[in-house]
Amino acid sequence: MPQSEYQEVNFDGLIGPTHNYAGLSAGNIASLSNAGGISKPKAAALQGLSKMKALMDLGLTQAVIPPQQRPDLSFLRKIGFEGSDAHLLAQARDADPTILAAVWSASSMWAANAATVSPSPDTADNKVHMTPANLVSNLHRSIEHPTTTRALRMIFKDPSHFVVHDPLPDQARFADEGAANHVRFAASHDQPGIELFVYGVDIHDPSNSARNYPSRQTRAACEAIARTHKLDQSKVVYARQHPDAIDAGVFHNDVIATGNESVFLYHEQAFATSRSMLTDLATPLGKPLIAIEAHDTDFSLEDAVTSYLFNSQIVTLPDGSMSLIAPLETTENPRVAKFIESMLADDSNPINTAHYLDVRESMRNGGGPACLRLRVPLSSTELAAVHQGVILNDDLHAKLVEFVTRTYPDEITQSDLLDPSLASSCIQTLDELTQILDLPGLYPFQQ
């Protein structure tokens, strides 16, 4: 398959061996309703690897981001727990089981929250800029960014092409959830893009806030990233998440809207911002914006949240057509299934195929296909400068499948989080992974 000069590369988070259901995310309905359930880490990671292989087999370039060191026992020591590993785990459970669960969470699998990415055609210095997300809204996610930053700096290490910024200040005022609240539009991936930043919190306009559930992304974070990434401000658009959508379980914008090149797929209740946003996006694009709006009469916000249609990936295939990479759950809702069918049949948009993938283990924690990946548009020169150990090919895929099958636990329950031998075997597993991906020294325990 000929590689085009410029392409979007998907970096998927490899699901880690400690994947579990702890109900840690307020406002994320799947996370809350599956709290305390039995997780299947091995099946979860194999589902993620099958998704990566499916994308690779469509002719797309696919890469892997390793999971994090979990459990993070150093965090428990930092907040005053002491003694043997068994003692530490038991003390944390007695003090607050959600702290225990936080240090075991495999939440870095949702790589869409790893960073915000601005590709080189959009930035004043023609470099790819990335800002790891501080994820301060949730304890279990706020401990991801040090390792995320290190991993991104190891993968995108060539300073002549890549700038991996420090995360924004670790404060609620700059709460940042990464690419899950960011959509880039462009006539094609190699053209200068329009970057849409979506937020739920604006301290200067508190009136329009969600009431029941937390809003995670701040406008201040969006504005800071647009500055540090050296974006052309005339090509930056800000939009506010609709508070009713957040209250219906839309904790990230990628649960209700997505885009690819000049296609914008969203639900009519996604945004509180006026419809002039569409003009703001279309004017600098240099090509008509193809807006596909799902109406409440097609399906409700609740249908959007349970089916995760908008958490599909829309990808441009090597032949120039677009495909929808959707979660299997979309086929189980007749209204959503019908909407997809008519979208595929409609020649006024370029999406004409769909692939339905089983990522159910991740879905039960509120993570669909798009959550599992960080997209990075790259030129062929930039792609050649990426650490090649993480680029998926048949050989690496087979190695990772063998590794996961041999080393990952079959199941984890919440009581397993007290087990120090599970803790040490998960750490050993990660040690082997850094050899497979050729990322020595990635984890704190290796330094």
Residues that bind ligand SUG (CB under 6 A): 21-25, 28, 31, 105, 107, 110, 112-113, 141, 180, 251-252, 254-255, 365-367, 371
Rounded to whole angstroms, how far apart are CA atoms 130 and 135?
15
Residue 251 or 443 with smaller CB distance to ligand SUG: 251
Residue 93 or 230 with smaller CB distance to ligand SUG: 93
Distances in Å between the Cα of 425 and the Cα atoms of 71, 239, 432 are: 11, 45, 11
| Phi and psi angles of residue 105, each rounded to the nearest 5 degrees, phi first | -65, 135
Least distance in angstroms from the C-beta of 442 to ligand SUG? 21
- Helix or strand run (H / E) with residue 195: strand 194-199
Amino acid identity of 317?
L
Residue 123 or 307 with smaller CB distance to ligand SUG: 307
Four-point Cα dihedral 220, 221, 227, 231, nearest 10: -110
Residue 22 or 430 with smaller CB distance to ligand SUG: 22
Least distance in angstroms from the C-beta of 371 to ligand SUG? 3
434: which residues sit within 8 A by CB, 6+ positions away? Answer: 66, 440, 441, 442, 443, 446
Task: Let me know: does 263 contact 344? Beta carbons within 8 Å.
Answer: no
Which of these, 95, 104, 97, lies nearest to 73 by C-alpha position? 104
Q: Which of 140, 252, 267, 397 is catalytic?
A: 252
Least distance in angstroms from the C-beta of 22 to ligand SUG? 4
* Residue 288 CB neighbours (<10 A): 10
Task: Let me know: does 167 contact 149? Beta carbons within 8 Å.
Answer: yes
Residue 118 or 365 with smaller CB distance to ligand SUG: 365
Residue 105 or 429 with smaller CB distance to ligand SUG: 105
Q: Which of 8, 177, 195, 361 is catalytic?
A: 177
Alpha helices (H) along 346-407: 360-363, 380-385, 394-407
Rounded to whole angstroms, how far apart are CA atoms 342 and 151?
41
Least distance in angstroms from the C-beta of 30 to ligand SUG? 8
Least distance in angstroms from the C-beta of 25 to ligand SUG? 3
Terminal CA-CA length for the chain: 40
Residue 161 or 252 with smaller CB distance to ligand SUG: 252
Amino acid identity of 403?
F
Least distance in angstroms from the C-beta of 198 to ligand SUG? 12
371 annotated active-site: yes
Least distance in angstroms from the C-beta of 105 to ligand SUG? 6
Q: Which of 261, 267, 371, 397 is catalytic?
A: 371
Least distance in angstroms from the C-beta of 384 to ligand SUG? 28
Residue 141 or 219 with smaller CB distance to ligand SUG: 141
Distances in Å between the Cα of 113 and the Cα atoms of 252, 297, 358, 394 are: 9, 31, 21, 27
> DSSP 3-state assignment of 216?
coil
Which of these, 433, 327, 375, 369, lies nearest to 182 by C-alpha position? 375
Q: For residue 191, what is the DSSP state?
A: S
Q: For residue 80, what is the DSSP state?
A: T
Checking DSSP bridges between strand 322-327 and strand 351-357, what pairing results, if any?
parallel
252 annotated active-site: yes
User: Where in the sequence numbering do the catalytic residues fall?
Assistant: 177, 252, 371
